[in-house]
A and B are shown apart, each in its own frame.
Chain A
Amino acid sequence: MTGRMTRPVLAACLTVLVLLALVPLLESNYLIDLFNEIMIYALFALSLNVIIGYSGNVSFGHAAYFAIGGYTMAILLTTYEWSLLPAFAAAVAFSFACSAVVAYFCTRLTDIYFAMLTLAFSMLVWGVAFKWRSMTGGDDGFVGVDVPAFIAERVPFYYFSLVVIATAVAVLWVICHSAFGRALLAVRENPVRAGFVGINTRLMRWWAFVVAGTFAGIAGSLFAMVHRGMYTESAFWPESATVLIMTLLGGMYSFFGPAIGAASLFLLERLTNEYTEYWPLVLGTILLAILMFLPEGLAGLAQAVRRQILRGR
C-alpha cells in the first residue's frame, strides 16, 4: 500500500488507460456508456477508500458528496446556464465545503459513532434533495442536464470523462502516497501511537474525509452529465452501501483495489440482471463471501495468488 509506484503497477495503469481509450473504437453505445459509468464508480470507490483504507474509519454516508457534486453540476449547468469550467469548479468546491463542515463534526467521533453520524448527514442531504423540489426536482429527479455542446456527443464526453477521471485518480494516488498518506496509515494503525509521535490525529482524519468528499463530488458531477440527470437515489443510503461494498470487494488495503471492486460489482450487476431480477440476493451472497473468505478483497486475493506462484518457482 505504501511506497513508490513500482514498474509493474505503472505498466498496468498505462495498459488500463490505453484499453479504456480504445473502447469507443468498438462503436458500441452500450459499451461506451458502461465503461464511462464504471470509471465514475471506480473514482467514487477510490475516494471512499481514503476514509476506510487510509484513515481507518467506515463511512456509511459517502453517497452524500457524490450527490452534492452531481446536483451542483446539474443545477449550475442547466438552471443557471453556467459554462462547463466554472460549473465544474463550483461543484468540486461545494463538495469540498460540505465535506469540510460534516468532517468537522464526524471526526470528533470514532468507530460506530463516526459511521452513524456520516449516515445521519447523508440522510440530511437526501432530505434536501427530496424536499427542495423547485431546485432539485424532488423525487422526479433533476431531468435534462444541459451538457455543453462540445462534449454533448457520446464519444467526446467519454474522452472528457476519461481525462478527468485519470487526472483525479493520479492526484489521489499522489495524495495517498505522500507524507500525508503515511501519517494517515499511522493513524489507522494506532491513533494513540500516532498522537505521541506528534501527529494531530483528528486533523488528519478531517483531511482524509475532505479529500474523500471532494473526489466523490468530482465523480458525482460526471455522473450527472453522463446520465443527463440527477436523482435522489444517488444520495440515498443504499448508494452509500453499494460504494462501501465495492471498496470491500476490491480490497481496502490496496490503493487500486476499490476501482477493481467497482468494476467487478458493476459488471456483475449488469450480468445478473440479464438472467434474474434477484440481484440483491446475489449481492448479499457476494458480501457474505468477501467477509468470510476475502477480508482483503480481490486485491488481497491477487497478492496471495502471486505470493503462492513466486514461492512455487
Chain B
Amino acid sequence: MAQLEARNLHTSYGLSRVLFGVSFEVEQGSCIALIGRNGVGKTTTMRSLIGLTPPSEGEVVWEGRQIAGLAPHTVAKLGIGFVPEDRRIFPELTVWENLDIARRPAEPGRQAWGEDEVFDLFPDLKDIQSRAGGVLSGGQQQMLTIARSLMGNPRLLLLDEPSEGLAPRVVETLRERVRTLKESGLSIVLAEQNLGFVLALSDMCHIMEKGEIVYSGTPDHLRENRDVLDRHLTL
C-alpha cells in the first residue's frame, strides 16, 4: 500500500473550483513531482493535502488513515511537513527559534532530526543561528524553511517550488540537499517548474493542467518524449 494516496481530490476557493479529481500515490521513500505552469493547481494540491484548503470531495489517505479535513497542525503532527512556496519563516524569530518552535520528537526507532542533524545538512544555518529570520537571503530562508519542517520529524515532505527565485548555484546546492533527504528515506512530493530539478530528483512525474493530472510518467520516459513537455509546459 502506498504511504500517501490522493484520491479524486476536488478543491475550490469559495466559488472558484481549482482541482478537478486529482489522484496520485506516493510510495514510502520515493519522490513524486507535480509539474505544470502557474495556476494549474500544484500549490492547491499541496494545500489540500496538508489541510490548509480542505478538499470538498475526495480522500487523502496517509499511512492507511483518512486525513482529508483535519486541521493543518494535526496533519503536521501525523508526519507530513510542508515547505510553502513563499518561504514562510517567522521574520521576528531568530534562526534557532524558527527551528525550535517546530521541534517534535521522532517516532521511536527512526532517525531523529534535531538542530545538530539539521545544521549538518545545512551548515550555513549554523553560523547564523542567532540572526533574525527576516534578514536572511532568499536561499537561506529556503534552507531554513526546509530545516524547520525537518525539526518536526516528518515522514513525508511537501516541497512547493523550492527553486523559485533562487540563483542557479543555490538551486544546485538545494538539489543536492533534497537528494540527501530522499536517500535518508524521506518521501517527497515536489511541485516545480524547474525541469532540471524535477528530472534529477523524482521517481514519477505528474503533469498538471487546469486542475487535472494530464500525464504521468517516469523522468526517463519524459526525457525521451520531449513532445509531451512541449505540449504541456511551454507557453
Q: How far is the CA of A208 from the CA of B88 in the complex (A)?
A: 23
Asked if B77 is at the interface of the complex by the 8 Å CB criterion, the answer is yes
User: Smallest CB–CB gap between B94 and chain A, Å?
Assistant: 7
Which residues of the other chain, A, contact B39 by a CB distance below 8 angstroms?
Answer: none
Q: Does A195 contact B73, Cβ atoms closer than 8 Å?
A: yes
| A183 within 8 Å of B (CB atoms) | yes
Task: Name A199's contact: one of B50, B73, B84, B91 (CB within 8 Å).
Answer: B73
Return B185 CB to nearest CB of chain A, in Å.
20
Interface centre among A189, A192, A198, A199 (most CB of B within 10 A): A198
B73 to chain A, nearest CB (A): 5
- Whether A228 is near chain B, meaning CB under 8 Å from some CB there, is no
Number of interface residues of A (CB under 8 A): 20
CB nearest neighbor in A for B104: A198
A179-B101, A182-B101, A198-B104 known; A189+B92 contact, CB < 8 A: yes
Majority SS at the chain A contact face:
helix
- A200: which B residues are within 8 A, CB to CB? 71, 73-74
Partner of B97, one of A2, A190, A192: A2
- Does A186 sit at the interface, judged by CB under 8 A? yes
| A196 interface residue per 8 A CB criterion | yes
Q: Which of A1, A182, A192, A196 contacts B100 (CB 8 A)?
A: A182
Contact B71–A186 (Cβ < 8 Å): no
- Cα–Cα, bound, A193→B82 (Å): 10
With a cutoff of 8 Å between Cβ atoms, the chain B residues found around residue A182 in the complex are 93, 97, 100-101
* Cβ A195 vs Cβ B97 within 8 A: no
Give, as a whole number of angstroms, the nearest-CB distance from A87 to chain B: 38
Is B97 within 8 A of A201, CB to CB?
A: no
Q: A193 CA to B102 CA in the complex, in Å? A: 11
Residue A185 lies at the interface, judged by CB distance under 8 Å to chain B: yes
Contacts A196-B84, A200-B73 aside, 11 further interface pairs with beta carbons under 8 A come to A3-B94, A182-B100, A185-B97, A190-B88, A192-B88, A196-B51, A196-B82, A197-B152, A198-B102, A200-B71, A200-B74
A-B contact pairs, 27 of them (CB 8 A): A1-B92, A2-B93, A2-B97, A179-B101, A182-B93, A182-B101, A185-B90, A185-B97, A186-B90, A189-B92, A190-B90, A192-B52, A193-B90, A194-B101, A195-B73, A196-B50, A196-B51, A196-B84, A197-B76, A197-B148, A197-B149, A197-B152, A198-B102, A198-B152, A199-B73, A200-B71, A201-B73
Interface of B with A (CB < 8 Å)?
50-52, 71-77, 82, 84, 88, 90-94, 97, 100-104, 148-149, 152
Give chain A's interface residues, CB within 8 Å of chain B: 1-3, 179, 182-183, 185-186, 189-190, 192-201
